[in-house]
Structure 1
């Protein structure tokens, strides 16, 4: 339940007493369609951290897409998909999370073909953690500056020499492509996207609303690797 819907057990609304009203201001803007890929053994925070931040913007529709109706995360909880991978769906933002499941999916030709087709109808593509491995293997990041999970840096970067891998970056924005480092970095990058799309005030509103300490500096990468 979102905080804006919070009520007491007795049914008396107390949200206004607990939270400053301006934290719930919703800027007007073009409806945003966000599509998020899910697959077995995806990393939970890779997906749900960014979705938490992006879902607090107004006029946003977030849909999950996968190869089957029920998808199990690496940590165990399952999600239900909204859209089948039998089709591509035009969207403003395509989210590609990472996780241990990417280790086998980089050899899944059907998934890679879907990513190639879906990228063409997505205004922006946002990978978190080893989600960039899938994009790299599909050839989508050829010639692009990108980053990935630093704990899996050697493996991911070995998949494609055509990507300009950045060993020190919390996230990298390359116009159409936004790639972030490991797991929690996706939440930082999601707030960057909010700022890019809706402005600093909106990003800070969501940061306060979620009581999240945002690392807003893409060059501040505490897990950078030496190459």
Structure 2
């Protein structure tokens, strides 16, 4: 059984996290889910959803690391201690999956310099500004670069997670999960209907 470590922080985006939790949680015989934060304890999302976490010092870092986005990323891109922990965990992880502006945090570690990545289109310019050495892909629902998976905004994390499941266990497995949760899976990583929206703004 492989660990899936969800690394959270105050003011994370609720659906970023729990959409992906739902998908991995459907494979109970394959994945064990763990919720962690820097110091442990209760962490609260932007929508005031509390979640109990373990400190990162207690986790097995060799599994899959999942990093959501949200308004809390604005402070964390300047938090060198937090970013150092993220870099260490990312190096040790078998795979790293980021949702929304979580890719800005990963970008600040330098681990995806020269690699393709994407992020929330409503915060894309800000994310790009955090590290211009990354090959940012504006038109992408999600992007895979070696062991790093990055997705666009919020619900795109679910598309990415299903894409990851398809890569690991076959597309039929991902399609069954999408059917069971009554979710219309956008299974094409290059299809992004939110690019070029005139109402884009820096929210997430």
Question: 2:50 matched to 1:50?
Answer: no
Shift of 1:89: 2.8
The corresponding residue for 2:156 is: 185
Kept in 2, the 8 Å contact 1:74–1:100? The answer is: yes
Bigger Cα displacement from structure 2, 137-146 vs 87-96: 87-96
Shift of 1:43: 0.1
CA–CA separation in structure 1 for the residues paired with 2:86 and 2:60: 11
Kept in 2, the 8 Å contact 1:167–1:225? The answer is: no
Q: Which has the larger radius of gyration?
A: 1
The corresponding residue for 1:167 is: 138
Kept in 2, the 8 Å contact 1:53–1:191? The answer is: yes
Kept in 2, the 8 Å contact 1:88–1:114? The answer is: no
What SS does the aligned partner of 2:94 have? strand
Question: 2:8 matched to 1:38?
Answer: yes
What SS does the aligned partner of 1:207 have? helix
Count of aligned residue pairs for this structure pair:
195
* Structure 2 stretches lacking a partner, 5+ long: 198-204
1:137 counterpart (92, 108, 119): 108
Kept in 2, the 8 Å contact 1:36–1:63? The answer is: yes
Q: TM-score normalised to the size of structure 2?
A: 0.92
CA–CA separation in structure 2 for the residues paired with 1:88 and 1:52: 21
* Structure 1 stretches lacking a partner, 5+ long: 1-30
Kept in 2, the 8 Å contact 1:168–1:224? The answer is: yes
The corresponding residue for 1:152 is: 123
Shift of 1:88: 5.8
Question: Judging changes above 3 Å, is the alpha-carbon distance between structure 1 residues 55 and 91 closer, same or farther for their aligned structure 2 residues?
Answer: farther
Bigger Cα displacement from structure 2, 217-226 vs 185-194: 217-226
Shift of 1:92: 2.6
RMSD, aligned CA: 1.3
The corresponding residue for 2:50 is: 78
Shift of 1:59: 2.3
Kept in 2, the 8 Å contact 1:89–1:118? The answer is: no
Q: TM-score normalised to the size of structure 1?
A: 0.83
Shift of 1:141: 1.4
